[in-house]
Amino acid sequence: MLPHVPFYFLRHGETDWNRRRVMQGHIDIALNEVGIRQAMDVAPAVAQLPIKTICVSTLSRARRTAEIVNVNNAPIVVLDTLKECGFGVYEGQDSNGPWREGWMAGGAIEGGERRVDYIARVHRALNEALSHPAPVLIVAHGGTFWAMEELLGEIVHVQNCTLFEMTPPPADRKHWKATQLACPVEPPLAIGHGR
């Protein structure tokens, strides 16, 4: 059960592998120049929020994004559980490859995480992140947000460096609400889409 508190979520800025639409997974790919500009674009919106803690993935693309948007110098907590899904042998491969359907259906990936295990890890990450002084900003990955959607019931394709407010449901509902607060000027990419 997640703590019933609102929080914010920001996907990291663009990387060259995002641009090529290949799976990054645990491979530590840095932000590209577009990704840095995207983080700078959304930093003023983050600065307007009453953030008390920033919880961030261990991967540099998320950590660098968090550093850029942390204009108000909130404490940054690095959580390994927030990192992207491990896609094993498919890291560096087409993000919409034929492997994806089997994985979505519960299949295993050589050297990677099963979908159900990844969702459970992100659930643990959310509980850990939300134990820190609130409001919390989580800076992580498209896959992390997707796993949150599975848990929170809100299906949204999150684009690079897009900022959301996540609001818990009222007592008579079960689904959280994801409200987009800001996105970069540069045209962002949505995870898992070939547009």
Q: Which helix (H) or strand (E) holds 143?
A: helix 142-152
Q: How would residue 114 be classed by pLDDT, with cut points 50, 70 and 90?
A: very high
What is the Cα–Cα distance from 108 to 118, expressed in whole angstroms?
11
For residue 55, give the amino acid letter.
Answer: C
Global confidence as pTM: 0.91
Q: How many CA atoms lie within 13 A of 129 on its CB side?
A: 34
Q: Is the pLDDT of residue 195 over 50?
A: no
Q: Is the pLDDT of residue 188 over 60?
A: no
What DSSP character marks residue 13?
-
Q: Which of 14, 84, 91, 149 is catalytic?
A: 84
- Ordered domains of the chain (ranges, CATH): 7-182 (3.40.50.1240)
pLDDT tens for each residue of 2-53:
888 999 999 999 999 999 988 899 999 999 999 999 999 999 999 999 999 9
Strand ranges (DSSP E) for the chain?
A: 7-11, 53-57, 76-79, 136-140, 163-167, 177-182
**Is 84 labeled as catalytic in the residue annotation?**
yes
Q: Cis ω on the peptide bond leading into residue 170 (within 30° of 0)?
A: no
**Is 12 labeled as catalytic in the residue annotation?**
yes
Q: Which of 12, 91, 123, 149 is catalytic?
A: 12
Q: How would residue 148 be classed by pLDDT, with cut points 50, 70 and 90?
A: confident
